[in-house]
A and B are shown apart, each in its own frame.
Chain A
């Protein structure tokens, strides 16, 4: 007879954590690869296109970075609510609203000169995301309304708003009938150096440092972590839940709005539907990136790079094998499932007893 016992580990070494996390990521990635192979793809081709080329070939690496920056910035934002036990999945919608706000400044302030125009667009985008984040922030903070559902509903609403603009008032008459907007003026476009938007990259790295400090060194960070660890105790200690919920969701919204406006003025330059959209579902990938980083701000740097590579690789596979957008979503889902399962193997060990 077999008997499976689950025993608690009381001391967990960093080495063990790292091993289990890496393993869980590999398991998730293998499951995805297996799915692709069973769908008729060549194993070697999948691995090379998914992970190796996006990180080693320079031209592919540029694209990887292009994805890693918005994913990373949004992950940094999401870490705040996640650390306080608030589960926002609203980055996608907040990003979309940020894009709309940034584009609006570009279309209405055409004559603005270059460095100012970019600053204005980024501020507007950040503000748009912040507004979209304030809604769940207020509802959660005042009434404890389920933030998962509110943020998701706001994502759908933001999509509808974008659709309204690109099929309606903002639709370009010169786009051959496609529902695309006019390209934003040249003065609003972020300059790039050798295919990499250095300014965006610097903003991302600086934000990583800032968020790391906020979480670990500030009173606010302490209060956020207190709510995440034990909400009852945090409440009894007199920490305002309204303040924590509002700030966490507003800041994460602002960062998503910033990511959206950066993506608009650096990469896309115009709004479009579905696969031409500025957001490209990256707001959902950012959730995976945040958990892959184990909600550690500094760890977002490698995790966003990795997910940027995977999104890039996934889209290449999609194009080569003629698969739909959905494959990035499957990849996100499977990897997320495997990394959250890892927690169990870190905290418990399985003992198989044979005989009795």
Chain B
């Protein structure tokens, strides 16, 4: 007999923990498809998490907090966008710097919010009932249906992103900029604008992911709330081969590892500090495995990923 309560709890946590990862990774896929690596995702997430809590407390509406959290993530990403797209600065260093700034700013501005209760303001389950099911199966059903709206929306986001990237004119332009900005320019695409907007969109989604982390998962603001989730999300992009739909699968695998590190606490004879390493070591292993596969399949990143494009450089 399996312990349905434990399994149900594990599935429930996995679906919830996947939300920030899905949102942030899909955002990063869009940015990287345009040719810009944004390592400021962790920064955008942490800013979104704080602003999400602050706005929810002020307005009493978590959906507003969630949305403004996304905008805050976008605002931070605009720094990265400006410096890398317009100035053509080193994308990796800029992303790291943006994350440092975001982590520091939220530590400073978030002090008044540490531990503030969001009682009654957190996202609530859409369908809190589980009638007509034998008791034994209740936890399993609850794990699937007792979620707030954002959990279900997060499943649609990768599909929307796939449509955006592969079926719209904007998506074609984004991918063109990621493969060859000079060809894109010659086709009349404004590379600067497309890349900048892709970074902003990525930052917005990362901000939303961060806001869900504080509002939906942790339930309060804590300094350094992201604890590497943003970086893990960046790692999932390569694991998903830059495909938004694969992000969903990758996020569930990662979220399962994160949930496992909670669930196992106190149940196995391993210190919680070692269990806390599971997501980090899991990311290292996932990145290693995917690179072994990529070497075999010769699947690659967008060709111009990480390369700055400055129009005046075309001929020189």
Contact = CB atoms under 8 A, between A and B. Distances in A.
B107 A153 contact: no
A150 B104 contact: no
Interface in A302-356: 323-334, 336-337, 340-341, 343-344, 348
B277 interface: yes
A280 interface: no
Interface stretch (B94-102, B117-125, B153-161, B245-253): B94-102
Interface stretch (A116-124, A126-134, A160-168, A243-251): A160-168
Interface residues of A, number: 48
Given A8-B313, A348-B312, A333 B291 contact: no
B93 A336 contact: yes
> Interface centre among A7, A146, A153, A156, by most B CB within 10 Å?
A153
A303 B83 CA distance: 23
Given A8-B316, A333-B104, A163 B288 contact: no
B83 A153 contact: no
Contacts of A344: 87-89
A180 B166 CA distance: 55
> Interface centre among B94, B108, B283, B316, by most A CB within 10 Å?
B108
B89 A341 contact: yes
A324 B108 contact: yes
B238 interface: yes
A67 interface: no
Contact of B97 (A87, A143, A333): A333
Contacts of A139: 284, 287-288, 291
Interface in B67-118: 79, 83, 87-90, 92-94, 96-108, 111
Given A153-B284, A328-B104, A333-B98, A8 B312 contact: yes
**What DSSP secondary structure best describes chain A's contact surface?**
helix
Nearest to B86: A344
A145 B283 CA distance: 11
A188 interface: no
B301 to A, nearest CB: 10
Nearest to B101: A333
A329 B100 contact: yes
A204 interface: no
A7 B99 contact: no
Contact of B235 (A146, A287, A325): A146
Contact of A153 (B274, B280, B316): B280
Nearest to A136: B284
A272 to B, nearest CB: 15
Contacts of B238: 146
7 shortest interchain CB distances as A-B pairs:
A326-B107, A333-B101, A330-B104, A329-B104, A333-B100, A164-B273, A336-B97
21 contacts: A6-B312, A87-B92, A139-B284, A143-B292, A143-B295, A145-B288, A148-B96, A149-B234, A153-B284, A156-B227, A291-B93, A326-B106, A326-B223, A330-B100, A330-B104, A332-B104, A333-B100, A337-B97, A337-B101, A340-B83, A341-B87
Interface of B: 39, 79, 83, 87-90, 92-94, 96-108, 111, 223, 227-228, 231-232, 234-235, 238, 271, 273-274, 276-277, 280-281, 283-284, 287-288, 291-292, 295, 310-313, 316
